[in-house]
Structures are given as C-alpha cells and as structure tokens.
Chain A
Amino acid sequence: MLSRARLLHNIRMNTLPQSSASSDDLVQQSPAHRAVLNRLQALLPAESVITDAAGLRPYETDGLTAIREMPWVVVLPETEAQVADIVCCCAEYGVPIIPRGAGTGLSGGARPHQEGVVLGLSKMSAILDIDPQNRIAKVQPGVRNLAITQAAQAHGLYYAPDPSSQIACSIGGNVAENAGGVHCLKYGLTVNNVLGARVVMACGEIVELGGALYDNPGPDLLALICGSEGMLGIVTEVTVALLPEPETKAVLLAAFSQVVDAGSAVAAIISAGIIPAGMEMMDQMAVQAAEAFANAGYPLDAEAILIIELDGAAAELATLNSQVTDLLRQHGAYQIDEAHDASAQARLWKGRKSAFPAIGRLSPDYLCMDGTIPRKALPKVLTEIDTISQTFGLAVANVFHAADGNLHPLVLFDANVPGQTDHAMAMGAKILEACVAAGGTVTGEHGVGVEKLDTMCVQFSSEELEQFFRLKAAVDPKALLNPGKGIPTLTRCGELGGMHVHRGRLPFPELERF
C-alpha cells in the first residue's frame, strides 16, 4: 500500500532532486535562482513578483489540498509578452515553471515546486472579443468559465462546458485539464469546444493554433494542448465556440429501488436514440447527504436517482419528454418528478450540484475519485466499489455522470485519525484500478496531476509511458514546464507493486527487482 509519506516522496522523486532553498529564506538560493529573480523583478511590477511567505502561502496547494508545497516564487504576468519573457528567463537558467489558473484543479496539477516559479495567469482575465457572427469568444486564460457565458448571454449564446467549479475555474485551466461537466455527452468536453489558442512554448516562442475555424492543417496540436496539464505550453489566449441557448429545458428526477434498474434506464434512453443534455446518477448515500444539505426534494428511500435534463426547441422537447418518461417507467422508476420552470429545475439540480459540500458535512474529509467506465460496467463496478469499501472500512458515496460513464466515488475519511489519509488514498487507487479493469480510465475529467501518477502505471505500459516522455521532450526538451506531473517515470512505476502486464510481456524487464 502506498503511504502518504511515500506518495509525497514519489512526487518529489519525479522533480528536481536537490533542495537547498527554503522558501522563507531567499538568501540561500543558488546563483541561478538569484539571477532569475533579478530578471523577473526587472520584467514585472513589484507586486507581481511574490517572494514572501505570507504572499506565497495561498499558492502552496490547489483543489487537491492534501498535497502542499511552498513555491519558490510566484509571478503574475499581465501580458503574453511577459509570459514569454518569464519562460525565456526560466529556460535560460533551467528553473521549472508551474502554470496556474484559478487553482481549483482536483489532481494537484498546479502543485508548486520548491525551486520553481509558479506562473499564475489570474491577471490575464480580459474577454477580448465576443463575436456573435462567428459564434466565438476570444478570451485571456484567466477568464472564469462562467464569465464567458455571462458575456455571451446578451447575444443568446453560451459556452457549453460547465465543470462544477465554473464560477471560479478559469478557461486556461479548463484547457489544461480538458475540463468536462454535466453536459458532456451532448455538448462535449473542453477539447470539443475550443477552436483556437495562442500558446507560449517552452522555448519562449509563441504559436497560434486554430482560430474561428472548423479545421486546421496537420496533426491536431490544439487537441494535444487540451488536457496536457500545462506540460506542453502555456495558453495565453483561447478561442471558444459559443452555442445558441436552448429554447426550452426540462429536468426530470426519477427514483429507483435498485441501482441496476437506474443503469438499464440510462442504456435504454441512449438506445432509443436520445442524447439528453445531462444525465446524472446518485446512490443512496449521496442522495441522503444532498437532501439533508439542499432540501431538493429527493426521495430518501431511493437506492438510486437519475436527474435528466432535456433541451431543445419547445416542439421537439414535448415529444422527447414523454418518450423519456415512458422509458424510465418501463425500467422501474417508481417516482418521476418533472420540472419545467427555471426555479423548480434549479431546485432539482441544486442537490446534485451540492453533493460534494453535502458529503463534506457528513464526513470530516473526503477524496473525490474520477474514473470513467463503459456504462454497461456500472453495476459490476459499483458492486466492486462496495466490496472495496467494506474491505477498507471506509464509506463511499457515488455520484456519476451517467450519460458519459464518468464516476465520482467520494471516499469518506477523517484526516485527524492517524493513518486514515493514507488508507483513503490507497482505497481510491483500488477503485481506479477497478475502473481500468472494467475497460475504463483512471481519470475522466480531473486530470492526472500528481494524484494519479501511480494509477497511470496500471493503465499504461512502459512503451506507452516512454512515448509520452518522447512527445514531451519534443516540445520541452529541458522538462521545464510543470515537471513531475501527468506522466509517471518508469522508475516510479517499477517501484510500485501491481503493474500492468502489456500484451503478455513483463513490464520493465530492464529494471532490477529486489
């Protein structure tokens, strides 16, 4: 089992080894660090270069608060030229750069580096253009996700991907993580809604990808940048596609006495050729927690509920609504509530959207996992999660983007009980292994960051990991951008226990075994 101490050790192992500088004491830095700091202070206004402990403290972690590290320096550029200058300066001296958006990421992708520069993009927060003619918005990376929709609303348009952190998370971070949300099956993830980006590469050069354009020549670099967790380049401008707001929406809540029935209802709806705008499932523990928190009117006796959002033209929706209702009944829904006005819809969604804080009230701490599985594997994987939960003696609440197979088991634990954090992390890793075994993936939308480095060893072979490293080296040969994230080193995977055996070959034959 992987202990927290070991996890932190491994995380450091993936980064630069020697650590001479204490963040509180800048005097003891290497000459290179002193030179970089001088350059950064010359490049940027004084308030945009943070070096004092109190100023650095807010940057020591992101949404994955279990993992913290004080950065060496935080810089807050305001222009693309400044970003490029910072990158050039760091590249010259070999100082790592950790790009950071709003710091809401859930996998530690923005965890600082004690000898590196955190490059925060929060000051680059201008909406540069809302163009209803071409249905695009051109924005700086620090713009909040929801702010794009708010700016586009005047034209009857909106930006579709809506991660649950959308009031706070930034579009630059969304691109880095390829953020999803509850409407992905119908409207896609970030990668499907971004048409262009300007990117500062590790060499300091600026490349412009795409634009208000529906395709581009050559290998799809824009798709590669999406979800690359700040390891391939720093996004300084994003062009997103805007969609017309749906004319009408309906939200249905269906209660089931068996999880399996809810799963088969989901399959039946998709099989009938219907792609709902959103289709969420919650298990009993999640329902009870959410209801106690939000008073959404959820049935407390249900083993599982589905929340389904349908949208479209009014005429189309009426037909869809009755089709879906029939299918839900046929598959064992014993209660169906429909919400047609905005306030009733908001109430039904409120329970789901507050599921995480609701669980936070039930339990001192929780870990949010992010596996994706083929939908058909849901009953099997839920049973396995139940078994894992009993083995580890920690409770799990399940919320599930049922439409696209993205499962968020929440592992409940108490960090004040010695050893329980490690135990919860180990249990989370087991759940992700079950997802991979079911044909899924260790992360659907939260990213690998530092949190899932070890589970990546389960999903990928050594050749595949090496290919990732060669890809990275092709654009960032000095490994300066967000080092130690996203892809585990072969050494790290080799040191772990249960490994992926790829096509019958033993992984890492080149490594010694002890």
Chain B
Amino acid sequence: MRQNHLFNRRPTVSADRSQDFIEQIKTASGDQKKLAIQGHGSKAKWLPPAKSDDVLALSDHAGILQYEPEELVLTARGGTSLAEINAVLTERQQMIACEPPQLSHDLVNHSSGTDADADTGTLGGAVACGLSGPGRPWLGAIRDAVLGVELINGEGEYLKFGGQVMKNVAGYDVSRLQAGAWGGLGVMSVISLRVQPCFATEQTLHGEMSASQALALCAKLGVRNLPITGTAWIGGQLHIRLAGNDSGLTAASSALAEFGLQDHAAHPDLWRQVRDQGHEFFQKQPTRQRNAQTLWRLVTPPAAAMPDFLSDLNQDALVLWGGGLRWVYHDDAQAVADYSRQVGGWCWAVGETMPIDPMQRQIMVHLASAFDPHGVFACPLNLNLNSALGSA
C-alpha cells in the first residue's frame, strides 16, 4: 500500500518489546519495585537519578515503523536512535525541525566533532527530556513536533494518544504532556513526529559585538521578516544562521551587512557543537582556566539584559535562541536564582535538581499519580505522590 513512499534503506527494526515492558511493569508494581526507564543514558547526568531497583531498557525497543515523506510524518519506537532517524530523514531531505540535541554519555567530557554518535540519544529520550536545538524560537520545540504517542502507563496498560495527523484535538493532549516529563508518566513505546523539509541552503553570518549589543540586535532583527534559524553569541561574536532558498539568502545576507554581519566560513560544525554540547565552552577541561565551575541553563525572555554578576561574559556565557537560552558558568546559586526570578525566567544547574514552581509541581505530582498510581517509574523529577510532595 505504501511501498513507493517508504525509505529505500531499511533500517533495523528490533523485536517489539512492548509486551515485555508491560510484564516488567506489572511485576515491578506487584513487588513494589521501581523501574528506571532508560534509552541511551545520554542525559543520565543531567538530573540526579531517582532511586530505582531495575532498568527498563527502552533502547532494545527500536526501529522506524513508518515514514512517508510527503505526509511529513515519521513514526518510530521510543528506543530508536536519533542518529538513525536523522540519517533516514536526511536521505529524503527532511529533518526534525527542532534538531533535538544528541549528547554524549558524559555531558562535560564530550569532545567535539565526533562521528561516533550511534548512542547519543533515543527518540523517547529526546521527547521525555524536552530539549530542543538552536532553532527553537524559529522552528519550534520538540513538543511542537510530537503528534502522537503510544504509552505504557504504570498499570501496564498500552494506550494510544494523538496520532499521525497534524491537527488533532480529540481528548487531552497526553502526547505533548510527555515532553519534559522525564519518563514520569509512562514508557513511550511509539512516537509519531511531524518532520519538515530541510532548507535548500544554509549560511552563517557573524559579527563582533558585546553580549548586550547582540541581544539588542537580535531583538531588532526579530521583528523583521528574515530567514533566521539560529543565533549564537559566544566569545564576543554573534553568529546568525540563515536558511532558505538561494535567492532568499542572498537578499537576507545583504540586508544584514548593514549591521556589520558578514559571511563566515569557519566552524562548519558550530551549530552542531552548540546543539550537542560539543563546543569548547562545555568542556570540562578548557584550555583557559574558568572563572566558575557550575554550569547553568538559564531560560529567559529573549531581550532580558545579561546578568551583571558574571566576571567575564566573553568566557562565561553562551547565548542562544536570540537571547532566550543562556548557558553561564557561575558558582553563586542565589545570585543566579535571583536574576532569573527578576527577569521572569528559570534557571537550572545541569546535574542538579530541576527547579519547579510548587503549584505546578503539585499539579504534576497529581498527574503522575493518574498515570502511575503505584509509583513504578523512577522519574528523576521525583513526581511520585508519596515521596515528592514532602521533598518539594
């Protein structure tokens, strides 16, 4: 029925493990044991692990089940590697718009430019952790790409939500709710994603400027119709990624010349490096001594002024998303928290507990108990009803 739409290269489709997962969940529930849902473990160090008795190994449950480029939809098992999905999509000049990060097991020792990316994250992990790449403000977040999930809840029930169509308001949006849940609501057995055509051409411009100049320029460009799909300010340089067809890029780059932005041949890997934390900024042993050791992920309104507590912005900050995402090194947690509250954002020392507003947390905990009433899933957000409210 669909033979001529399917990809040519048949990737590995492993055995369907969902029935095993159901058994494992029911057994664990009966024994009052906790299961840690694990894909490649590429983001295992991003949060302190929750106490668990056993692993539910999602990466054994892999494979692209359906991909029809003209429908712009790809359906794959939760354990499918992002690397494989990206390879299959690239063959048909398509992509996951938000470019989910492909991370090394070791957040801080990842060396740049490595091709050994086979186990740099699964689709399930990408959705569960809700992380999006450098194009987030322009191309959407991972949650925007999610169209449907087949979920195994804490009762071992196999449930289908959403679907493979772009528009679907039947029932609560349980599919997108999974984004950022870190596995606390169930095992994503199968995920359908909206994909999109790759851009015909990409080009990166750059210009030297301070962080505050870069923020002001990004805000100014934001109200103009320009084919921007990424910005990165680092080390006193603003890089802007443009994407579109040739004539569009030619026009855009000449429009940006008036702001001192020029074509930039260096670092073809820049966007991948900032996406996957392969950039030198993230390395544990940088060539120059760092001013602070704690790495913060700061999500702020894009135009918010830079914090004034950093001793050297050029060295301690990497600003993405037109200003909406700031990675900074700083050791005074209170100062960072005060700043993010003041600008209306949120901050997270990656590797430490993720801060969640108490009222939101309460809702999340109740939701988690609706999906996992016996607390089978060892979620690093600690959403278990019995233990979480006390420790929040």
Which A residues contact B (CB, under 8 angstroms)? 131-136, 155-157, 177-178, 180, 184-185, 188-189, 191-192, 201, 205-209, 211-221, 223-224, 226-228, 232, 244-247, 267-268, 270-275, 312-316, 318-320, 372-376, 401, 404-406, 439-448, 452, 456, 459-461, 463-464, 467-468, 470-475, 486-487, 503
User: A117 to nearest B CB, angstroms?
Assistant: 23
Interface residues of B in 251-279 (CB under 8 A from A): 251-252
B160 within 8 A of A: yes
Establish whether residues B360 and A218, one from each chain, have CB atoms under 8 Å apart when the complex forms: yes
- 24 of the cross-chain contacts (CB-CB < 8 Å) are A133-B303, A135-B222, A184-B167, A191-B173, A211-B344, A215-B131, A216-B346, A219-B178, A219-B383, A220-B130, A220-B143, A223-B143, A223-B179, A224-B176, A270-B72, A274-B197, A312-B227, A313-B251, A316-B227, A375-B71, A442-B170, A474-B367, A475-B363, A503-B158
1/0 per position for B68-107, CB-CB distance to A under 8 A?
A: 1111110000000000000000000100000000000000
Q: A271-B69, A316-B245, A467-B159 are in contact. List 12 more A-B contacts (CB 8 A).
A: A184-B166, A184-B167, A221-B177, A223-B179, A224-B173, A268-B70, A270-B197, A272-B197, A439-B165, A441-B163, A448-B170, A471-B371
Nearest Cβ on chain A to B256's Cβ, whole angstroms = 12
Q: A134-B303, A375-B71 are in contact. Are A313 and B227 (CB under 8 A)?
A: yes
The closest CB in chain A to the CB of B166 belongs to A404
B67 to chain A, nearest CB (A): 13
Decide: B370 and A213 in contact? CB cutoff 8 A.
no
B209-224 Cβ-contact flags toward A at 8 Å (1 or 0): 0000000000100111
B367 touches A273 (CB 8 A): no
Segment of B23-31, B232-240, B294-302 in the binding face: B294-302
Q: Are B169 and A178 in contact (CB under 8 A)?
A: yes
Interface on B for A, CB 8 Å cutoff?
Answer: 2, 5, 68-73, 93, 130-132, 136-137, 140-141, 143-144, 153, 157-161, 163-174, 176-181, 184-185, 196-198, 200, 219, 222-227, 244-248, 250-252, 299-303, 321, 324-325, 344-346, 348, 354-357, 359-361, 363-364, 366-371, 373, 381, 383
- Could you tell me if A218 and B167 are in contact, using CB atoms closer than 8 angstroms? no
Among B170, B196, B373, the most chain A Cβ lie within 10 Å of the Cβ of B170
Contact A441 B170 (CB under 8 A): yes
* From B70, B172, B321, B381, contact of A214 by CB (8 A): B321
Q: CA separation between A189 and B140, bound complex, in Å?
A: 12
Chain B residue with Cβ nearest A374? B71
Question: Which one of B169, B179, B301 has the highest number of Cβ atoms from chain A below 10 Å of its Cβ?
Answer: B169
Cα distance A480–B371 in the bound complex, in angstroms: 21
Interface pair A221/B363, CB less than 8 Å apart? yes
- Whether the Cβ atoms of B159 and A464 lie closer than 8 Å is yes
- A218 and B166 form a contact (CB under 8 A): no
Bound-complex Cα distance A131 to B301 (A): 11
**B349 → A minimal CB distance (Å):** 12
A463: chain B residues at CB < 8 Å are 157-159
- With both chains docked as a complex, state the minimum distance between the C-beta of A509 and any C-beta of chain B, in angstroms: 14
Report Cα–Cα, A472/B363, bound state, in Å: 11
Determine the distance from Cα of A244 to Cα of B248 in the docked complex, in whole angstroms.
16
Q: B residues within 8 A CB of A226?
A: 173
Instruction: Specify which of B140, B324, B363 is in contact with A207 (CB 8 Å cutoff).
Output: B363
CB contacts (< 8 Å) of B143 on chain A: these are 220, 223
With the chains together, A244 CA to B224 CA distance in Å? 6
Q: Shortest CB–CB separation between residue A496 and chain B, in angstroms? A: 16
Question: Considering the chains assembled together, what is the distance between the CA atoms of A246 and B153 in angstroms?
Answer: 44
Partner of A316, one of B161, B197, B244, B301: B244
A313 to B248, CA, bound (A): 6
User: Which residues does chain B contribute within 8 Å of A180, judged by CB atoms?
Assistant: 167
| Nearest A residue to B246, CB-CB | A319
Contacts A134-B303, A213-B324, A214-B136 given; indicate if A273 touches B170 (C-beta within 8 A). no
Which of B173, B244, B346, B366 is packed against the most chain A CB atoms within 10 Å?
Answer: B173
* CA distance in complex: A264, B136 (Å): 32
Q: Is B299 within 8 A of A214, CB to CB?
A: yes
B363 to chain A minimum Cβ distance, whole angstroms, is: 6
> Is the Cβ of A215 less than 8 Å from the Cβ of B169?
no
Please state if A374 and B165 are interface contacts (CB–CB under 8 Å): yes
- Given A244-B223, A271-B70, A219 contacting B165 (CB threshold 8 A): no
